[in-house]
Amino acid sequence: MYSRALLYCSEHGSKLDTEKSFGFGVHGSVFACLRATSNVKTALKIHERPVPYFRERDVYLRLGDLKIIDIEGHNIPALLDFDDRLWALEMSIVVRPFLLDFGGAYLDTPPDYDADILDQWELDKQEQFEENWSKTSQILARLRGYGIYVADVNPGNIGFKHDI
């Protein structure tokens, strides 16, 4: 993925910040970049597989079309550029509270999960988010209102201000 990040930067007028990485997850790795035209730092996510890439790209495109920059006070990165060949998304960097990572999201149709699985999922999420579950539920409901169904919900991608 590092080689695709370098290629993306050379083709899109950015420079990879080899000193900084935002980490990695199930769907890919996130690198720090510096846009040559503006000298602004950005986050570059390189996906491992095409399906999560296109899901996440399409969610960010929808949020951008709707001009949504936050949900319930949680900052959402702006999609600055993307590359379908390299499965790369370049986004603005946001601070807590934030809402990130839509690689496991579905547009317009919720995933087809059995009711028992959904019940267990909600219990697991209540345990993960503890006192933040009510606010997390509100965020997920707002996303559903935009036709975005997020299956991969965890405190790493819905970050609260006090969870530093």
DSSP of 29-69, one letter per residue?
A: EEEEEEETTT--EEEEEEESSHHHHHHHHHHHHHHHHTT--
Percent of the chain with pLDDT over 90: 75
Q: How confident is the model at residue 163 (pLDDT cuts 50, 70, 90)?
A: low
Specify the pLDDT at position 105.
94
Query: Residue 125 has what DSSP assignment?
Result: H
**Domain at 2-159, CATH class:** alpha beta
Domain residue spans in the chain?
2-159
Can you read off the two tokens belonging to residue 12?
């899109």
Run of H or E including 105 = strand 105-107
pTM value? 0.91
pLDDT at 5 over 90: yes
